[in-house]
Structure 1
Amino acid sequence: MRALVGVVGLMVGVLTACGGAASTGAAAPGHSRGETSMAPAATSQAPVPEATTSAPLPTGPNVSGCFTEADGKIFKHDGDLPGVITGDGPVGVVITYERRGNVCTWRPLSDRLVAVGYRVLLYARRSTTLPEDAAVAMGKRLAKESGVKRIFLVGGSIGATTAVPAALRLGPKAAGVVAVSGEISAENAARLTVPLLQIGSENDGYGGADDLAEAHAAATKAPDNQTMVIPGESLHASALFGSPHGKDVLDRIVAFMDRHKG
């Protein structure tokens, strides 16, 4: 009797953190207009996290399970989509995440900004809503909050690409743009009259070094025009925050905003 050989298919379950499937050297504040910098390559490896028990998802008002009323004011927009305003500073920040992303992977930036005195708005959006329109609507909403005087627009990937035209539409309230892994068109960059900080990985297929250089060269009217390129990497948008380069990226964003918050 010939022996039968059984073929067993192994299925591997891939567990992702909240927002983990998103499509997705710190600089001193004194950078001059037109400066481009290449961040130093990290030599250390990211630590392997210890196994932990997942916290239960909140049952009350929240945004993607990452922000609750303990973090700030939860609001609804565009029908029934949630958003949150956290912090209470006079300078606001609107964060628009990357396609297929969510607010969760932007929490490192939000927490850092709130800790140094900014008021941050994060929001969920429909895939059918243009990020530019959403960012403008959120900017106008944040501008109505008591005490908010100026607003930075921050975006990742498509959120970064559309942050510049959104800032143009927001008008005098716009304090500046931080574009992480964006592809800002030369036409939009040339129209920008507020400070611009671009951050991206050298080898990223969207918002890589060449894309950032093109927008940098075109943004001749921006009073400050900075670019930070992470050499040898292809990390995209909010993936930078959890990488060995995360601290340098966050430091650079805070330094840029502190310089231009007015």
Structure 2
Amino acid sequence: MFWNRRARHRTAALSLAAAAVLLSGCASTAPVTVDGSPSPLQSPAAHPRETRAVVTEKPVSYVPADPKYTVRTPSGHLVNDCVPRRLHQYVTTLTTEDGKHLSTLILGKGPNVVYFGHQYGGQICNFLDLAEEIAGRGYRVMLPEFRNHVASEKAAASSSLDAKAAFDKLKDLGTKRVFLAGASCGGTTAAVQGVESGIPIVGLTLLSSPARCDGDAVAAVKKIQKPSLFMVAHDDMQGGHERQIRELYAASAATHKRLVAIDGEEHGTLMLYGSKEADERRAMVISFILNALTADNEVGVQD
């Protein structure tokens, strides 16, 4: 596996092994948006003071996938060294049904949660910028690092079991609503396991996600009626990922859905960093998530 650790956000390049598993791709530069009901996204509200809930679970012992880039927090949990020390108190370890261990970051607190699933060949920090922004707006955010990735246990890949462990933990935390977000297979299993968890879903964002990878996302999106954003690059895997994102977009039951296709070949979170246009796309994703959470909160108050 190859992790690109050069930038602060620690965006990771898709590994060659993962590329063989995934089915297709397509990428580009200036965005072309197809939207059933084109309405401009609102800018997020001013950033309030953050509140976080410190994790209290006991650490466990296991062999991490990449010890070179793994450190131990003061409480004893293993974590990717891309996670700043100021966040180490929010690191915990999840245990899957088959007994594997996942280094996991849980920021913020409250019943409304955003779940981020990174791509195969990626890492926990792929979505860290977005997670900190959203946690600062008063929401809880969960970022598991999948098995066989950096600080999580070295084992054969199974993002479905890993995502299930994350959603089981969210239920234990009393989650009332969840926004699902993920890149590549991490997005596929976010949709699949998010639906299977039974936690009410307030929205969905998929970046370069295959229609099927450790689960059937086509079947899942048919059950998600909340705002959904699908993003892909035209030349990612020679157009294969665009074909699958378009399949997901067509199958989506969302009453408000957006398809954004860009020039280039960037995969997953690589579409959100490295240029002015990428920065704008990242801001759009954050706004989409926050708007969906805010809109659902308002409905909940009326109910």
Is TM (by shorter chain) over 0.5?
yes
For the pair shown, the structure with the greater C-alpha radius of gyration is 1
Q: Provide the residue aligned with 1:50 in structure 2.
A: none
Q: Give yes or no for contact 1:97–1:103 (8 Å, CA) kept in 2.
A: yes
Q: Give yes or no for contact 2:11–2:269 (8 Å, CA) kept in 1.
A: no
Superposition deviation, residue 126 in structure 1: 1.5
Q: Does 1:121 align with 2:148?
A: no
Match of 1:203 among 221, 235, 255: 235
Relative to structure 1, the CA distance from residue 176 to residue 132 in structure 2 (aligned partners, 3 Å threshold; closer, same or farther) is farther
Q: Does 1:74 align with 2:107?
A: no
Q: Provide the residue aligned with 2:264 in structure 1.
A: 233
Q: Give yes or no for contact 1:181–1:200 (8 Å, CA) kept in 2.
A: yes
Match of 1:133 among 161, 168, 173: 161
> TM-score, normalized by length of structure 2?
0.63
Q: Give yes or no for contact 1:154–1:177 (8 Å, CA) kept in 2.
A: yes
Superposition deviation, residue 57 in structure 1: 7.4
| Residue aligned with 2:104, SS | strand
Q: CA RMSD in A?
A: 3.3
Matched residue type, 2:242:
A
| Residue aligned with 1:85, SS | strand
**C-alpha distance after superposition, 1:84-140 (max 9, x if no partner):** 101235421111111121112322222222233332111222243422332232123
Q: Give yes or no for contact 2:114–2:139 (8 Å, CA) kept in 1.
A: yes
CA distance in 2, matches of 1:240, 1:250: 8
Q: Does 1:161 align with 2:188?
A: yes
CA distance in 1, matches of 2:70, 2:250: 45
Mapping 1:104-115, distance limit 5 Å: 104-115=125-136
CA distance in 1, matches of 2:112, 2:279: 22
Superposition deviation, residue 188 in structure 1: 3.6
Which structure 2 residue ranges, 5 or more long, are not aligned?
A: 19-28, 40-68, 149-155, 212-216, 297-303
Mapping 1:154-193, distance limit 5 Å: 154-184=181-211, 185-193=217-225
Q: Provide the residue aligned with 1:142 in structure 2.
A: 170
Q: Give yes or no for contact 1:196–1:225 (8 Å, CA) kept in 2.
A: yes
Which structure 1 residue ranges, 5 or more long, are not aligned?
A: 1-13, 38-55
CA distance in 1, matches of 2:194, 2:35: 19
Which structure has more helix as a fraction of its residues? 2
Task: Provide the identity percentage.
Answer: 21
CA distance in 2, matches of 1:82, 1:254: 24
Q: Provide the residue aligned with 1:97 in structure 2.
A: 118
Mapping 1:208-227, distance limit 5 Å: 208-219=241-252, 221-227=253-259
| Residue aligned with 2:236, SS | coil
The total of aligned residue pairs comes to: 225
Q: Give yes or no for contact 1:94–1:120 (8 Å, CA) kept in 2.
A: yes
Superposition deviation, residue 15 in structure 1: 8.0
